[in-house]
Amino acid sequence: MAPDRLRATLQTMPFRPFTVEVAGGKRIAIAHADYASLSPGGRTLIVYGYPNDDSMEIIDVFLISNLSVAGGSEPVAV
């Protein structure tokens, strides 16, 4: 996935929860922008457990095969 597309989804106002799917079919829900962090270079996405979970997922952005936004289509990258 293009990092700019993911960054645009994270910065959409108002934020809309979304799910990313990585190779192998694993789906990871991102309920709020505060629980996800995209590295400055855009290669790595860290998703923290929600709401009171100390777990985290470290994801290679280029292995994301699908992004689906709750309640509609994904935003267009700026």
Q: Tens digit of pLDDT for each residue in 15-58?
A: 999 999 998 899 999 999 999 999 999 999 999 987 777 899 99
Q: Residue 42 domain-assigned?
A: yes
Q: Which residue segment(s) compose the domain that 24 sits in?
A: 3-69
Number of domains making up the chain: 1
Q: Residue 74 domain-assigned?
A: no
- Helix (H/G/I), strand (E/B), else coil: 3: helix
pLDDT, one tens digit per residue, over 55-75 is 999 999 999 999 999 876 544
Q: How far apart are the first and last CA of the chain?
A: 15
Per the CB < 8 A criterion, the answer to whether 61 and 42 are in contact is yes
Q: Residue 21 domain-assigned?
A: yes
Query: How far apart are the C-alpha atoms of 34 and 25, rounded to whole Å?
Result: 24
Instruction: Please report the pLDDT score of residue 72 as a whole number.
Output: 64
Q: Residue 75 domain-assigned?
A: no
Instruction: Please report the pLDDT score of residue 60 as a whole number.
Output: 96
**Nearest one of 28, 31, 20 to 65, comparing CA atoms:** 20
Residue 15, domain CATH: 2.30.30
Q: Residue 56 domain-assigned?
A: yes
Instruction: Please report the pLDDT score of residue 53 as a whole number.
Output: 79
